[in-house]
Structure 1
Amino acid sequence: NTAMLSHIVGDCFSFFTIIIVAVSFLTGVAFGFIIEGTKTGTPQKINDDSVNKKPPQKIIDDSVIKKISRGIEVSNYALARKISDRSQRRFSCGPVDYVTQAAMTASDEITLPENDVPKFHYGELEIGIFLSNGRFSEEFEVCKIEQSSNGDANHEQQNGNDDVLEHQYAVKLLSEATMSDRAMLKAGAIELAVETKMLSCINHPNIIKIHGVGDGGLECLSERTARHYFILLDRLNSTLEKRLYSSWKEKQLELERRNMHTMLSKNSARKNQKREFLVERLNVALDIAKALSYLHSRNIIYRDINPENIGFDCYGRVKIFNFGKSRLMCPDESRKDKLCKISGMVGQVRYMAPEMGMRKQYGLPADVYSFSILLWEIISIKKPFETMTKHAHTLLVMKNGDRPSLDFRMSFRIRSLLKCGWSHFPRQRQKITHIIKDLEKEIRKRSVDSNISSGSSFGTKDRRSIVSSSSFFEEEEIYSSLKEKKEEKKNMDDSETTFLMDGKLDKM
């Protein structure tokens, strides 16, 4: 019994010893983890404010801002929205606001030599009525500029004719809706900074001119003071969109009504009016082409050609405006195939080149495609792809290569120009300088035909020589146009027309 009792006591002692050792070991391990966690910064339940402080906020990488300004892979607004959704807190950039940093980085991408632009304080401008608004900005009329010693615009305003110059200037600034949205604010500040830098580097009679900027500079493009930054521009009375479907459309319908009720003796006068009307529209297209040729000569791609971005000033001169989406192609981006590294969908889908819509590499030929679609619209006074949905446009136009139908009454030169300009392959599109030459020839020919029909400034021999020299080409053009019209009717696919009645591209 004594031996058994001593054996039981020994087992109990060993058991309790093992338990004590295990508890000690676990306590030491837990204490070690606590010490290690305190050193590495893991959150602990300690009432010390120094431990619970938030880590410092990160600064936006310059490469991200460059992608925003250069339109790589996604548009400015889409990438800015993605950054805003990823982190709702404000990014701190030290003394410089994050919006200002993005605007400055985008502006520094443009390395062209700048012209001297006068600076004005917002209080020096007497703001008039509201003129128009865009996606991020809005424009107001400038009725008067206070007397100041810095500014060519002020000098012109005081020394010119008050009746003419009263509505010559407009001020452009970010809208209140843009200021209320962080992603829109960043994208709008980038576009306004790019437009300011781009307009200060170019000078062409058919491109809107910048007459002044806010005296605060790009530093005003911050989250709180971006509304104070503005640019002073030419005031435009109307846009090509309004002229196409208001005055020009009404004139076209009036000529068609006259055609139905005109006697045969007045047939030549009616044709003369149609020729003059076409020459008027071709001259507008020629001015647009000259402005694009100037931009392409400086390696600038506009990327947003459409009737809403083309206006007319108080003298009736054509002006291209809205340069927020324009892009300076660097020398290392230009290649033999006329394409560059930039990609992404920019501009209206209706006028967008296929390579741009398919998110491929594109370059200056993308502007040629957009201009060709616009030229067809100017000649026909019809909205291109008016009844197509977005899905149908992507399938038929961007992938399958469908284009607007060509009227057989168009001249052979115009039809060839359009076919080459809106080719599905960028390498097959002609340069904008060649388009200018063809348009000038077409305008001269139409003007000569108009003078022949009216009998002005030509003698009998001159008239006969001109008619005989041009009759062969006219017959060839008519024959080829009729032949192409028949081929188009034979090759029409009824299945493709089912896409055309589902909706419209007006909101694209």
Structure 2
Amino acid sequence: MKLDGIPRFSSHELTIGSLLGEGGFCIVHTITKIQLNAREPLLEHDQMMRENLVNSNDIVVVKRIRNDLIESEERKAIADLALEVNFLAQLEHENIIKIRGISDHESFHKNSFAVLDLLRETLDLRIKKRWKREVHKASGVFGCCCSNPDKLRDLWVDRLTVACDIANAIHFLHSRNILYRDLKPDNVGFDLDGVVKLFDFGLAKDVSNEHRIGGFYKLTGNTGSLRYMAPEVYLDLMYDESVDVYSFGILLWQLCDLTTPFVGFNRKLHATMVIGRQHRPKINPKWQPGLKALISNCWAHESSLRPDFKTVLSLLFEEANQLSKLFEKRYDSSFV
């Protein structure tokens, strides 16, 4: 795929700042300065794109391949980074991270990098460090005493709004025949304006040219994070877009419950309980009926029972509206 619309930079033009995060294959650092060097003649449009980023004063980061990988891991890291860059270059959506630049190499290799918008925090951190604490505080000392129903309502609406934004991003991907395959709180972030951004497209798959057999694709199994992995992916069966719906169901439960699903489950226990016995996290009986039904339908063991993301979005909007009315009518502290 051509990347003509993405400005290119040499590593010498970037002043690297502090480490923001690291994954299995890549690390992310802040960029404190971009100093454009005199280079061989560039097309006017290419030079303008480079200058636009420098003059924007936008805060950006650089994603690079780790230098401590063994050869097989390095090859995988290069392929993943190339895949992510290619996806982000063709995708423009308010809830998907934007690529701002790439390395000026003709092909991807171990020194290649991508320049991306800065994300303030991940959804995982917001759940653990912010929402959980705020819900506890707003619930009062003994559940009802000193409780703040308005704050609790706002927190619920905030979380469902985030769920809508995530669903909106995945719905967009599916409309472009792209399976995301790694939906989890660690891959959802918030930019400096608080806008939800889906990132890390290393496991995404374009199925435009894939042949369906009985409505399913023969794709790589055991792809993604075990905790959020659909049963058919774990079992290396054929699958379709509904694998993202399953992951979303687990994530939606986590947004509501503010705890991590399947804590303490190793791979063997997960296979026995979640895959074999269809065990799922316990749904709070005090949650809204529609919300409980949506979660249950999304993480259904049988993929045909899961809704598509157009339906998910419609139901989420409805639940958010009903939630506001519920809290206005009567506050029940046991709901949270």
Fold match by TM threshold 0.5: yes
Residue-by-residue CA offset, 1:462-503 (whole Å, 9 max, x unaligned): xxxxxxxxxxxxxxxxxxx9xxxxxxxxxxxxxxxxxxxxxx
Amino acid at match of 1:255: A
The structure-2 alpha-carbon separation of the partners of 1:115 and 1:404, relative to structure 1 and needing over 3 Å to count, comes to farther
Give the Cα–Cα distance (whole angstroms) in 2 for the partners of residues 217 and 137 of structure 1: 20
2:151 is matched with 273
1:318: how far off?
0.7
Contact 1:423 1:429 in 2 (8 A): yes
2:198 is matched with 320
- Quick check: 1:177 aligned with 2:47? no
Alignment of structure 1 residues 411-490 onto 2, 5 Å: 411-450=288-327
Count of residues in Structure 1 that have an aligned counterpart in Structure 2 = 326
Contact 1:140 1:170 in 2 (8 A): yes
- Quick check: 1:125 aligned with 2:125? no
* Match of residue 32, structure 2, among 122, 138, 143: 143
1:404: how far off?
1.0
- Quick check: 1:212 aligned with 2:90? no
1:297 is matched with 175
Give the Cα–Cα distance (whole angstroms) in 2 for the partners of residues 216 and 367 of structure 1: 33
2:121 is matched with 238
Give the Cα–Cα distance (whole angstroms) in 2 for the partners of residues 281 and 296 of structure 1: 23
Give the Cα–Cα distance (whole angstroms) in 2 for the partners of residues 451 and 256 of structure 1: 16
The structure-2 alpha-carbon separation of the partners of 1:155 and 1:421, relative to structure 1 and needing over 3 Å to count, comes to same
Contact 1:305 1:367 in 2 (8 A): yes
The structure-2 alpha-carbon separation of the partners of 1:244 and 1:374, relative to structure 1 and needing over 3 Å to count, comes to same
- Structure 1 SS opposite 2:17: strand
Give the Cα–Cα distance (whole angstroms) in 1 for the partners of residues 235 and 292 of structure 2: 26
The structure-2 alpha-carbon separation of the partners of 1:377 and 1:153, relative to structure 1 and needing over 3 Å to count, comes to farther
1:258: how far off?
3.9
More helix by share: 1
- Structure 1 SS opposite 2:90: coil
**TM-score, length-scaled by structure 1:** 0.61
- Quick check: 1:390 aligned with 2:279? no
1:170: how far off?
0.5
1:409 is matched with 286
Mark the runs of 5 or more structure 2 residues left unpaired by the alignment.
38-45
Residue-by-residue CA offset, 1:57-92 (whole Å, 9 max, x unaligned): xxxxxxxxxxxxxxxxxxxxxxxxxxxxxxxxxxxx
* Match of residue 49, structure 2, among 146, 152, 155: 152
Give the Cα–Cα distance (whole angstroms) in 2 for the partners of residues 297 and 114 of structure 1: 22
Give the Cα–Cα distance (whole angstroms) in 2 for the partners of residues 453 and 424 of structure 1: 35
The structure-2 alpha-carbon separation of the partners of 1:256 and 1:450, relative to structure 1 and needing over 3 Å to count, comes to closer
Give the Cα–Cα distance (whole angstroms) in 2 for the partners of residues 151 and 169 of structure 1: 18
Give the Cα–Cα distance (whole angstroms) in 2 for the partners of residues 369 and 399 of structure 1: 16
- Structure 2 SS opposite 1:150: helix
Alignment of structure 1 residues 241-252 onto 2, 5 Å: 241-252=124-135
Alignment of structure 1 residues 314-393 onto 2, 5 Å: 314-335=192-213, 337=215, 339-393=216-270
Contact 2:164 2:317 in 1 (8 A): yes
Contact 2:181 2:224 in 1 (8 A): yes
1:335: how far off?
4.8
**TM-score, length-scaled by structure 2:** 0.90
Amino acid at match of 2:225: Q
Residue-by-residue CA offset, 1:205-244 (whole Å, 9 max, x unaligned): 11111111111131x51xxxx22x1111111111111111
- Quick check: 1:116 aligned with 2:13? no
2:41 is matched with none
Contact 2:8 2:50 in 1 (8 A): no
Give the Cα–Cα distance (whole angstroms) in 2 for the partners of residues 216 and 115 of structure 1: 13
Mark the runs of 5 or more structure 1 residues left unpaired by the alignment.
1-107, 455-480, 482-508
Residue-by-residue CA offset, 1:368-423 (whole Å, 9 max, x unaligned): 00011000001100111113232111011112211111111111111111111111
1:261: how far off?
6.2
Contact 1:119 1:150 in 2 (8 A): no
Contact 1:139 1:173 in 2 (8 A): yes
1:64 is matched with none
The structure-2 alpha-carbon separation of the partners of 1:201 and 1:431, relative to structure 1 and needing over 3 Å to count, comes to same
The structure-2 alpha-carbon separation of the partners of 1:128 and 1:332, relative to structure 1 and needing over 3 Å to count, comes to closer
Contact 1:145 1:154 in 2 (8 A): no
Residue-by-residue CA offset, 1:141-162 (whole Å, 9 max, x unaligned): 111222476253641441x4x5
RMSD: 2.3
The structure-2 alpha-carbon separation of the partners of 1:147 and 1:331, relative to structure 1 and needing over 3 Å to count, comes to closer
The structure-2 alpha-carbon separation of the partners of 1:154 and 1:410, relative to structure 1 and needing over 3 Å to count, comes to farther
Give the Cα–Cα distance (whole angstroms) in 2 for the partners of residues 321 and 151 of structure 1: 26
1:272: how far off?
2.6
Residue-by-residue CA offset, 1:258-300 (whole Å, 9 max, x unaligned): 444626xxx6xx3332111100111111100000000000010
Amino acid at match of 1:177: D
- Structure 2 SS opposite 1:129: strand
Give the Cα–Cα distance (whole angstroms) in 2 for the partners of residues 384 and 153 of structure 1: 43
Contact 1:272 1:453 in 2 (8 A): no
Contact 2:163 2:252 in 1 (8 A): yes
Greater RCO between the two (CA within 8 Å, min separation 6)? 2
Amino acid at match of 2:137: E
